[in-house]
Amino acid sequence: MNKKDAIVRIEALRKTYATTAENIDVLCGVNLDLHAGEMVAIMGPSGCGKSSLLHIIGLLAPPTAGRYTILGHDMFGLSEDRQAAFRREYLGFILQSCNLFEHSSVYENLEYPLIYARVPLAMRRQTIEQALGRVGLTHRIDYPTNRLSGGEQQRVAIARALVNNPKVLLGDEPTGQLDKGTSDMVMEYFQQIVREHDTTMLIVTHDPAVAKRCTRAFTMQKGQLVAIS
């Protein structure tokens, strides 16, 4: 892979949290290229800055300095509404469990990204069925989410992240609260999606088993990414 193929490019990215007592540098000049069809894991102890990096890549938090592009578009200096538009078009988030909307059906959970992307009502059901088909849950489309198992709930969350066909999937410990069996199954879905749809995936995890399944893995040390061989 060369530099031209990078979907996401981060150069000299810095993030400093200012407190009354001191300034805490959590990211100190991070460089990272994410390419189509690869799955990258970032590991590290709690508070090392891996989630901060994920939030910056997900346009949920601003960096202090550096350069960040998605498909060549500079992400710095965008208004909040433009950032939201990029999130709708290019990014999909999968968080730890319990990130589905309560008292809602599977359909309703998957409908929200489509609503925000202004997808016409007539096209939504078919689009949602396709997304659920990727995780094998089409039959659960009208099922209340609080009656699904933990593994099914996380598969619905994956389907929701995929429903807009994002270029980049961002997972913040997506298997963190799942048992090993369910975790393996979810990781298989991730691998399948990345392989079949040429999607780029960045996963923040504590679990070495998850990192092993990724194309590349990094650990965050003193605000820098260090590749794990």
Partner 1 sequence: MIALHDILHISVRQVFRQRRRSLGVVLAVALGTSSLITMLTLGDQLKHDMNRDLDLLGGATVILAGFTTSTDTTAAPQSFLPETVEAIRALPEVESASVATDYVDWLALYWRGKTTATPLLGVDEHYWHTSSLAAIKGRLFGAQEVEAGERVCVLGEELAKNLFDTEDPVGQYLPIRTEVFKIIGVVGGLQVGDRKKFALLPLTSAVRRSNGTMRADRLMVRCRAWDGVLSVGAAIPGIVAQHQNPKFLKVDIAAKQLERVISMIWWIQLFVAVSIAATLTVGGFGIWNGMMSSVIARTREIGLKKAMGAEQCDILAQFLCEALTLSLSAALIGIVLAFIVVQTAGAYLQDKPSMALFFLNAGISFVFSAVLGVATGFYPALRAARMDSVAAIRYE
Residues that bind partner 1 (CB under 8 A): 55, 58, 60-61, 80-81, 84-85, 87-89, 91, 93, 95, 99, 101-103, 108, 112-113, 115-118, 121, 160, 164
Question: C-beta of 161: minimal distance to partner 1 in Å?
Answer: 9
Handedness of CA 119, 124, 129, 130 (dihedral sign): negative
Question: C-beta of 135: minimal distance to partner 1 in Å?
Answer: 17
Under a CB-based contact definition with an 8 Å cutoff, are residues 141 and 133 in contact?
Answer: no
Question: C-beta of 81: minimal distance to partner 1 in Å?
Answer: 5
Looking at the Cβ atoms of 113 and 223, the one nearer to partner 1 is 113
Tokens 């260090």: give the residue: 226
d(CA 175, CA 186): 7
d(CA 94, CA 161): 6
Strand partners, 42: 204, 218
Question: C-beta of 10: minimal distance to partner 1 in Å?
Answer: 18
Looking at the Cβ atoms of 39 and 91, the one nearer to partner 1 is 91
Looking at the Cβ atoms of 7 and 157, the one nearer to partner 1 is 157
Residue 39: in which H helix or E strand, if any? strand 39-43
d(CA 114, CA 145): 18
Looking at the Cβ atoms of 53 and 217, the one nearer to partner 1 is 53
